[in-house]
């Protein structure tokens, strides 16, 4: 029975679990560490937020480099190395005694995360799938959303045994899960005698008039110079600015409104879990409808959700925020990869998704730092949420202007 399952789905499963753990412990759970660390060291919200921005270098300086490495060496070795480095980074972080050490540990974690998430897992799915790439990416990316399941456990561990021991436990867990799962992954279908899902053993090599092979010298440079690629990069910058600001500052923001830590922790866990609906749903819709329209819908939901976040004074509004923002950011995360594959092809996918994630890191650095600065300066996050609402809505117009750079046959359009 199991032998009849296409091996690409095992790759998706391995990436799903890695995303679940890495997303849960590094991205979604850090909001639970925020206040205990602030109380122990007395650092400002801005100083702590800078550390999360350094972690965002996983999508910044490291992402384009990882993009080139994954095209050259494959993703199996990067997943394995990333798992080892993340575990080391978390354990060393537990010994933090100074702000400098705090920052250096986050840089180490960012280095490891660069090999475990984003560029690597997206490329893995894109290499193995064609026809159902949106669904496969949706399932894989849902692991990141399912990381919300870990947040209550992290909150419990911090409250029960302190934030330092919690980091040691999480680091050991990274080794126990990440290393064996990395060994399941195969770099290409051909390595196990298969073809990419949705393609036959052979594909047409003809080049229609008005097109040229993507391997043509300068094709990669030409594609990244196109305005459509610029629009996608700007949209990703905006998306990550909104997502990181909300995720990192969710518990401090809700606490500032007088909401109990147990409740804000539950909301922090619910956000990625609710986003799973967007990852599955919008990924599936993206396989069947114009990906630009589907992605624009996700940005509209994020914009509306950010607006609702400004008025979280009741359970009803908090629920509305979750139902809008979470599926929106979950769906947009899936669609960036499937749009890149369909509109720009697979020849340079690793390099191009690395550049896109590098651009996104700009937003990932600005978002949480700006939110922390706003709270330190004016004692409120409201203006930040209004701003994120506006720019998320404006990004819709850029998304709708994206045009294909390659044809269905994979050749560059002149």
Q: Work out how many domains the chain is built from and give that number.
A: 1
203: in domain: no
Contact partners, residue 119, CB within 8 Å, separation at least 6: 63, 66, 67, 70, 350, 353, 354, 357
Rounded percentage of the chain residues whose pLDDT exceeds 90: 14
198: in domain: no
Looking at residue 299, its pLDDT comes to: 93
Looking at residue 200, its pLDDT comes to: 56
Tens digits of per-residue pLDDT, 183-214?
888 877 876 777 776 565 554 444 444 444 45
Given a contact cutoff of 8 angstroms between Cβ atoms, the answer to whether 269 and 306 are in contact is no
Q: Report phi then psi at 211, rounded to 5.
A: -130, 165
66: in domain: yes
Give the CATH number of the domain where residue 98 resides: 1.20.1250.20
49: in domain: yes
Integer Cα distance of 29 and 25 in angstroms: 5
199: in domain: no
Contact partners, residue 155, CB within 8 Å, separation at least 6: 29, 32, 261, 262, 265
Rounded percentage of the chain residues whose pLDDT exceeds 70: 87
Given a contact cutoff of 8 angstroms between Cβ atoms, the answer to whether 90 and 171 are in contact is yes
Integer Cα distance of 107 and 2 in angstroms: 40
Looking at residue 225, its pLDDT comes to: 78
Question: What mean pLDDT do residues 215-241 have?
Answer: 79
Question: What mean pLDDT do residues 316-326 have?
Answer: 89
Q: Which residue has the tokens 């692991």?
A: 143
308: in domain: yes
92: in domain: yes
Question: What mean pLDDT do residues 312-332 have?
Answer: 87
Looking at residue 95, its pLDDT comes to: 93
Tens digits of per-residue pLDDT, 367-397?
888 888 888 888 888 888 999 899 888 989 9
Tens digits of per-residue pLDDT, 397-410?
988 888 865 555 45
Q: Which residue has the tokens 């209004």?
A: 386
Looking at residue 301, its pLDDT comes to: 93
Tens digits of per-residue pLDDT, 6-56?
888 888 899 899 988 988 888 778 778 878 888 888 888 778 877 766 666
Integer Cα distance of 95 and 33 in angstroms: 14
Task: Tell me the residue range of the domain where 302 lies.
Answer: 2-193+211-413
375: in domain: yes
Q: What is the DSSP letter of 16?
A: H
């Amino acid at each position: 029975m199991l032998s009849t399952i296409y091996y690409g789905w095992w790759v998706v499963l391995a990436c799903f679990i890695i995303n679940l753990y890495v997303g849960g412990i590094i991205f979604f759970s850090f909001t639970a560490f925020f206040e205990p660390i602030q109380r122990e060291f007395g650092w400002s919200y801005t100083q702590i937020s800078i550390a999360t921005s350094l972690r965002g270098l996983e999508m910044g300086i490291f992402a384009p480099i990882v993009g080139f490495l994954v095209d050259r060496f494959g993703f199996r070795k990067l997943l394995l190395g990333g798992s080892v480095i993340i575990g080391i980074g978390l354990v060393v972080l537990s010994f933090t005694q100074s702000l400098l050490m705090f920052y250096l540990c986050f840089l180490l974690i960012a280095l490891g995360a660069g090999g475990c998430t984003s560029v690597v897992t997206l490329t893995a799915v894109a290499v193995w799938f064609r026809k159902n790439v949106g669904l496969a990416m949706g399932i894989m990316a849902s692991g990141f959303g399912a990381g919300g399941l870990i947040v209550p456990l992290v909150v419990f561990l911090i409250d029960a045994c302190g934030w330092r021991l919690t980091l040691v436990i999480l680091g050991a867990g990274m080794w126990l899960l990440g290393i064996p799962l990395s060994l399941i992954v195969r770099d290409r279908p051909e390595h196990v005698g298969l073809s990419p899902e949705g393609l036959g053993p052979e594909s047409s090599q003809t080049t229609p008039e008005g097109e040229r092979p993507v391997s043509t010298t300068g094709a990669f440079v030409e594609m990244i110079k196109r305005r459509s690629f610029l629009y996608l990069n700007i949209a990703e910058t905006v998306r990550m600015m909104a997502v990181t600001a909300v995720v990192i500052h969710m518990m401090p923001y809700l606490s500032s409104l007088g909401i109990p830590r147990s409740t804000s922790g539950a909301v922090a866990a619910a956000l990625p879990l609710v986003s799973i609906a967007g990852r599955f749903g919008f990924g599936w819709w993206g396989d069947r409808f114009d990906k630009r329209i589907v992605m624009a819908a996700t940005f509209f939901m994020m914009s509306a959700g950010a607006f609702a976040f400004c008025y979280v004074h009741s359970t009803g509004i908090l629920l509305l925020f979750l139902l809008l923002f979470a599926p929106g950011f979950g769906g947009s995360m899936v669609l960036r990869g499937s749009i890149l594959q369909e509109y720009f092809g697979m020849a340079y996918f690793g390099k191009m998704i690395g550049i896109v994630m590098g651009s996104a890191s700009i937003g990932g650095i600005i978002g949480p730092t700006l939110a922390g600065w706003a709270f330190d300066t004016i004692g409120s996050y409201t203006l930040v949420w209004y701003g994120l609402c506006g720019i998320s809505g404006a990004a819709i117009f850029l998304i709708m202007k994206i045009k294909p750079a390659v044809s269905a046959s994979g050749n560059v359009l002149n």
